[in-house]
A = this chain, B = another copy of it.
Amino acid sequence: MFDKYTYLDNGSITRLDERVFDEMKPYFFDIYAIPTSESGYSMGIEAREALEKSREIITHHIGASESEFIFTSGFTESSNMALKGVALAKRKKGKHIIVSKIEDFSVLNTAKALEKQGFEVTYLDVDGEGLVDPVLLKDTITDETILVSVQHANQEIGTIQDIEAIGEVCKEKKVLFHTDATHTFTRIPLDVQKVPVDLISVSAHTIHGPSGIGGLFIRKGTLLQKWMDGGFQEMNRRAGLENVSGAVGFAKAVQLVTTDENKYLQQMRDRLIDRILSEIPQTVLNGHSVKRLPQNANITFERVEGESITLHLDMCGFAVNTGSACFSRTLEASHVILGIGGEHERAHGSVRFTFSRYNTIKDVDRVVDAVVDIIENLRRISALS
């Protein structure tokens, strides 16, 4: 249906890879039972083995052990579980939580919900490129602080945080550290043996895996109150029947990401940014120029509405987004662009381009050519009116 549609929005949901799909298929039709222990029936044991093998593949990718990772329905659930699980487990120690101002809504609105339940939340400022200052963070931590949540990279502007430095501060201050790695997972190396992070939220849908499956890394010894109550699944940390086909697909998606692919994503990104900034006047790159997701470019086109650009690009067969994916439904200004000190106008003129496995340098050139024309036309109309 969208054969000629060039999807440039993998910041959110990416096309399922056929190889992921082939790996999942037996778990729809042949081994679909509930994973059971060794005392169960054969199909359940095979399902259990597939689930545990998937867990092994994913945890080994970040240097974790199998007992440190549980499957969830996605990063939103993972972040809810991390923040609320820590809040409830540690509330006797203190009620102060720190999150960056530009977190995705899964963290930001979970923090706001905890505020309503009597927790105190500090929304940490970031600099003009979206970076959290570890020194400022250190000064913000009090004796009451129980948790810091700073994303690995931003969902809109792509800025990568120095989570190693942030983690060191948290470790020194004996405060738990959660990072939302939805957009960096497999794209940016992360080794939990080196980075002192306690909780990591991840999802399969950003890397050509299936929707509806994600996970949470929980460092050994980290106390969380159970958030999804019910059965004893996932080492009794997350109730709910296991989504085995989803877990198998997630693991395969992790295996398919290569260093070369990540390099090529970065080449596409750099070409788009270079061409747009040099060929179109009055354009600004949002986010950091170097500490940046390989698949993400975010540009403000002055004197133009992001919505108009989106609609015109759509007519040319390109899918892009203005603001964040969730946010763009509301037409409010992006809290991320405002968070890095941008005006409402800058937010409204911003467009996020993201690249995936299914894009090429040719796509980049085609979309830039289209953008050049669209901006020229829109600015001409705007000048006339």
Which residues does A use to contact B, with CB under 8 Å?
1-2, 5, 7, 9, 12-16, 18, 21, 26, 28-34, 36-37, 39-44, 46, 73-74, 76-77, 79-80, 104-107, 109-110, 112-113, 203, 205, 210-213, 226, 228-233, 239-246, 307, 310-311, 313-314, 319-321, 325-326, 328-331
Contacts and interface: CB of A to CB of B under 8 A. Distances in A.
Contacts of A26: 1
A307 B39 contact: yes
A91 to B, nearest CB: 11
- Counting chain B CB atoms within 10 Å of each CB, the highest count among A240, A329, A330 belongs to A240
Nearest to A307: B39
A41 B314 contact: yes
Contact of A246 (B109, B212, B320, B331): B212
B325 A34 contact: yes
Contacts of A32: 7, 13-16, 211
- Counting chain B CB atoms within 10 Å of each CB, the highest count among A16, A104, A243 belongs to A243
Given A230-B79, A232-B326, A325-B34, A74 B41 contact: no
A243 B211 contact: yes
Contacts of A113: 226, 229
A110 B227 CA distance: 9
